[in-house]
Structures are given as structure tokens and as C-alpha cells.
Amino acid sequence: MLKEIAILFIACASAMAQNKPAPAKVDASTPRDQQIALALSAAPPEVAEAATVYVIGHRGYERVRKGTNGFTCTIDREFVTTVEPECFDAEGTKTIFQTRLRTEELRALGKTENEIKADIEEGYKTGKFRAPSKPGIIYMLSDHNRVFDPSSKKIISFPGHLMFYAPYATARDLGYKLEPFLPYLVHPGAPDALMIVVPQDGRQHH
């Protein structure tokens, strides 16, 4: 019975995410059902239906459902103006996602983005945070991704994609001397560097 309820929950959430336009901005005032739908739209149904789910609350992220498969789905925000539904696997939940929890906690306390960046960097130095220790994946297959484009310095819509852990990787590690390069690296050289791959046939879980 619980499995059937979970399947119904993810089906409803996926339908909501597909039928409603993505908000230009997500914060604690965004209805929880809309946040949940967006978060779960990041992963294939068989992953999302058993994942832990977090939403953005007035004190940072709040867990609204405990999952069973080690994955964590939420709406990440590189900046408060971006909308990035993501589902972290178990390794990412233990590592990269912990910095996201801290980021939203500090935002709720009114810290500036520079103060937050410094706090996260210090956390990596002291061992409070750590880079992924093995290969893994973050699903970001939602149709509603609004990300910051470092080239144009604008918020843009970006197709559904997969992200793989590449701690401290740079363009040279991929055989390139200069950007741009493919696969694309997010946060090159950083502990949470990620390699992006966009499936040619889109979201295969539809």
C-alpha cells in the first residue's frame, strides 16, 4: 500500500511540474506543493518516488519526506534568483548537499552571498564539508531549470541534464587548454565541481 501511495504521489507531483509554469523565483513563500513538484521533477519517477524531499522554509531547508533509496530531491539555488531542481544520490547527499543545507541556513539568517561563500570555503578547509569520495550522479532532468550562465551573466532556461561528480577537475583534466569545452564543468577546480551531460533524446523517463 505504501508503494502505491508513493507512486501516486510522484505521478501527481510530476503532472503538477509539467502543467504549471516554473516560477521565476523560489523562496520560503513559494507553496510547498509547488516546491515538492519541482524538486521531484528532477529525477526519473522510480528514483523520485523513494527519495527524501526538502523544501525551502523560513529557516532554511526543511525536510518534508524521508525517503528510502538514499536520494535527496530539492530545489537548489546557486543564487536566490535561480531555480534548480536537483536529486542527489547517497554520496552527494552526504557531501555536496550538506553545503546546500548550510547555504540556505545562512541565507535565512540574512548573511550576504560573500559571507556564505567564505563560510562554505572554510568548512571545506576544516573538514566540516568534504568532496565526494566516489563517482556519483545528480539528476537535474526537470523542464524548469533556470540557471546562471557565467558567459552572459544572465539567468537562462537550461534543458534537463545529468551531473557527475568531478572534484577539483579543470578543463585541463578533460584535455582542453581553454574554455569553452564539452562536457561542461560547473565550479571547475572546486570540491563540488560537476561534469554536465545533456541527453540527446531529452528526459528518457517520460
| Residue showing cell 500500500 | 1
Domain ranges of the chain: 2-164
Give how far the C-alpha of residue 35 lies from the chain's centroid of Cα atoms, to the nearest Å: 13
Choose between 162 and 18: higher pLDDT.
Answer: 162
Ramachandran quadrant class, 167 (left: phi over 0; alpha: psi -120 to 50; beta: rest): beta
When pLDDT is averaged across residues 55-65 and rounded to a whole number, the result is 98
Give the pLDDT band of residue 189 (cuts 50, 70, 90). very high
For the chain, what percentages of helix, strand and coil (3-state, to nearest 5) are there?
A: 35, 25, 45
Which residues are bridge partners to 151 per DSSP? none
Give how far the C-alpha of residue 27 lies from the chain's centroid of Cα atoms, to the nearest Å: 15
- Side by side, the strands of the sheet bearing 161-165 are 60-65, 52-57, 72-76, 84-88, 137-140, 161-165, 194-197, 184-186
Torsions phi, psi of 55, nearest 5? -125, 165
What confidence score (pLDDT) does residue 22 get? Answer: 64
Task: For residue range 95-142, list pLDDT tens digits in order.
Answer: 999 999 999 999 999 999 999 999 999 999 999 999 999 999 999 999
What confidence score (pLDDT) does residue 61 get? Answer: 98
